[in-house]
A = this chain, B = another copy of it.
Amino acid sequence: MPKVDVVTVKRLPQYHQILQKMKQRGREYVSSEQLARLLKVDPSLVRKDLACMMTGVQKLGYPVHLTMKKIEDLLGMRNTKEAFLAGAGSLGQALMAYTGFKQYGLKIAAAFDADPAIAGKIVNGIEVLPAEKLADLISRMNIKIGIIAVPTDVAQEVADLMVKAGVLAIWNFAPVILHAPDYVIVRNENLAAEYAKLSYKLEQSLCRRSEVNENYVFEQTDGEPALPEGK
């Protein structure tokens, strides 16, 4: 069990994506400096991240293909894990269609929906079953990952149900913070909050821009050089 920091694990898929592109272009080696530039981090951080899995080659850098393999091993990308999806509305359907998951070893084994108009259909090759069957099938199929894409007001309820049935990780896309016992891993995705962050940064940068503009106007009227931006 190589104990790897989660901050590192978070970056590994990104290294993998970049390496994939480089492999396609026929690159055999890549330096920590190049990876770092693409991820906007420091080269020494790249070296530290990769050091937990493998060793690079002096003068050349890291072998592209081997590094990908090592990342795949560590993340278990090659052994498929099955998950159940609660909620087959538009968000649920988008998750079923998302092409990125397969590569990382995630398979949505079945979806569940309370709406009888949807249950029974097959969406993107995944069977949608009636919501009542969720708990029973989780236990019987020994499913460990539950994905939640139900309306906000029933999200906690569905999570509780999943936990009781034996799920050990919950990936929640409803805009609400879900709670579960400590032994269950919960990831609240919350796109609305992500947007709030993006929007705030945008606002800040617009302010900075207009400030710069004001300085510029000032400069024109009185001839003072504009202040250099603080670094």
Q: Which residues of A contact B (CB under 8 A)?
A: 1, 4, 6, 9-10, 12-14, 17-18, 38-39, 74-77, 81, 89-91, 93-101, 103-106, 124, 144-145, 152, 168-169, 171, 175-177, 179, 183, 185, 187, 189-207
Contacts and interface: CB of A to CB of B under 8 A. Distances in A.
A101 B191 contact: yes
- How many copies of this protein are present in the complex? 2
Given A177-B18, A190-B13, A197-B9, A202 B169 contact: yes
A18 B193 CA distance: 13
Given A6-B201, A199-B76, A175 B100 contact: yes
14 contacts: A6-B200, A6-B201, A13-B190, A13-B196, A17-B176, A18-B177, A75-B196, A76-B199, A76-B200, A100-B192, A100-B195, A105-B199, A169-B202, A185-B198
A168 B205 contact: yes
Contact of A169 (B183, B189, B198): B198
Given A13-B190, A175-B17, A194-B187, A200 B90 contact: no
A185 B202 contact: yes
